[in-house]
Amino acid sequence: MILHTRDVPPRIRHALEQAGVHPLLAQLLAARGVRTAEELDDGLPRLLPPETLRGATEAGRLLADAIAAGQRICVVADYDCDGATACAVALRGLALLGAAPQNLGYVVPDRAVHGYGLTPAIVDLACAGAARPQLLVTVDNGIASHAGVAHARSLGLAVLVTDHHLPAAGQPLPAADVIVNPNQPDCGFASKAIAGVGVMFYVLLATRAELRARGAYDALAQPRLDALLDLVALGTVADVVKLDANNRRLVAQGLKRIRSGRMQPGVAALFRAAGRDPVRAAGFDFGFALGPRINAAGRLADMTLGIECLLTDDPARAASLAAQLDAINRERRDVEAGMREQAEQLLARWWSGADAAAVPPAVVLFDEGFHEGVVGIVAGRVKDRAHRPTFVFARGANGQLKGSGRSIPGFHLRDALDLVAKRHPGLLLRFGGHAMAAGCTLQDGGVTVFEAALAQVASEWLDAATLQRTLRTDGPLPLQWFNAETVALLDAQVWGQGFEAPVFCDEVQVLQQRLVGEKHLKLRLRHAGQERDAIWFSHDQPLPERTRLAYRLGLDEWNGRQRVQMLIEAAQEPAAPAGAGAAV
């Protein structure tokens, strides 16, 4: 482990302070690329304009026409939190814009039965029954659904694709009526990292603008789409997209609504089920409390539960659905724990824990007992443990091997899959995703070839420095900022992927240490002349008397009292040169 201190441009930090930004926050923001105080304005007028998102204006016309003609619109959702929130945003937003409730519906694939995206089978499912739609709207999927789009068009349906995934390089796009995706060719939208739910929100903004231009209402009487921002914020953080300036504004606006008590009944119910206080809502709650409960439905059960929880306006029904999601999430944890133990046993063939160099440049794991629904989570855990691009495969209901991958900085996972597919034609039946997360499907028996192929790409693209785990820190925390007010200040900000929460680094003396819960290290430390409480979750190895810690600030609440504690992320012996050393 290398502990690296972020660079802080002094002039920018000073300019932020002069503009009234808290001194500590000015340091943290300058280190994360913020250049002016204007960038910190999270007001809605600062959002990127919808007309800069290619296809949004045309999508607005298509939806406005469908609403005016009383057409039935069916949303084709996805089975993760981004897809579920995007579906809820689409249906709630279209209703706000005048679509009759009886003309709105949705379908969501079953992960094990239908696979991913707008497949011909999903088109047929959407058309089943008397309420046949005239327009299909995909959310968080569709950019690779050539066969599904063609099938829908052959049945006389119009298709609007809203997605954010990367299209296949050099390949034509699906023949949909309209495609809205910031990552499609020739799209100048500045936020390439916007989540699927954000894309759908922008389509609604464009639709409202079209309806306003048609005289449906004026600017003062138009529907308030900001009522959907709690859902947009939840899906954005849960999908672990980079929190660029535009995404941070979307999340900040959603958090403000939630903290003031303005949220969908389902979001409020999920906060209660997770034991979280919405008044103190933070991005962490989306990523580690609400998001996993919704995702669990798509992993182990039916994402309809998650979507219905976000759609209902009945608090009692929302509470019931949230309780079901919480129970499924507990089951998901048990399944994941078993798979992680199996994964550790498979990892042991390379790595006893002491020799990281023995691990190949990319890790591929498969076991007949793995559950398809949680391979992505386990891949993420293994990636964190081994610091290698990782794919975990499980056998699907049709016998094919379905894998989910997670990557490390410097290794674009989807591009790697594309290269593997070109070098080994026919090996990958399907693939897609992003730089840091991707998925693919193999025929039975293809894991060995895939493992070697991915390792070959990794050996070409990654060097020893990239394969060395690095934790970027914000350096020492000045003594005057070690207090509850600083915790509140930091918690009020929007942190996440690409805009990481602050991690400080200081040398400390270990006064006491003991295990709690059999796997967490509880410590009493001397830091800057003061005694501090600290905890290192999921770490059971003792620390030397003097050590250098990387830590976050948190509050430990007990019997109504609050104490600031250090939440340890990593440690190294202080004798190591600054910015380097072996992890403890």
- SS3 call for 343: helix
- Give pLDDT, residue 557: 81
Closest listed residue to residue 547, CA positions, set 519, 530, 570? 570
The answer to whether the beta carbons of residues 163 and 138 sit under 8 Å apart is yes
- Give pLDDT, residue 405: 96
How do 504-516 and 437-442 pair as beta strands? unpaired
- SS3 call for 154: helix
CA pair distance 406, 433, nearest whole angstrom: 10
How do 437-442 and 428-433 pair as beta strands? antiparallel
**What residues does 515 pair with on adjacent strands?**
521
CA 127-132-134 angle, 5° bins? 105
- Give pLDDT, residue 322: 98
**Mean pLDDT per 10-residue run, the chain (584 residues)?**
92 97 98 94 96 98 98 96 97 98 94 84 91 96 96 98 91 96 97 98 98 93 96 96 96 98 98 96 95 93 95 98 97 92 81 61 94 92 92 91 94 95 95 89 94 97 90 95 95 94 96 92 94 93 94 87 93 57 41
Element (H, E) at 224: none
State the amino acid at position 115 in one-letter form: G
Q: Which runs of consecutive H residues, i.e. helices, occur in 492-563?
A: none
Angle subtended by helix axes 81-96 and 196-213, to nearest 10: 10
- Give pLDDT, residue 580: 43
The answer to whether the beta carbons of residues 247 and 236 sit under 8 Å apart is yes
Main-chain phi, psi angles of 571, to 5 degrees: -150, 155
The answer to whether the beta carbons of residues 181 and 161 sit under 8 Å apart is yes
Q: What is the largest CA-CA distance in the chain?
A: 74
**For the chain, which domains are there?**
54-328 (3.90.1640.30), 348-461 (3.10.310.30), 471-572 (2.40.50.460)
Describe the chain by its helix, strand, coil percentages, rounded to 5. Answer: 45, 20, 40
CA pair distance 203, 66, nearest whole angstrom: 14
- Quote the pTM value: 0.91
Q: Which residue has the tokens 């020739």?
A: 186
Q: Which two tokens stand for residue 442?
A: 């193999």
- Give pLDDT, residue 433: 85
- Give pLDDT, residue 170: 82
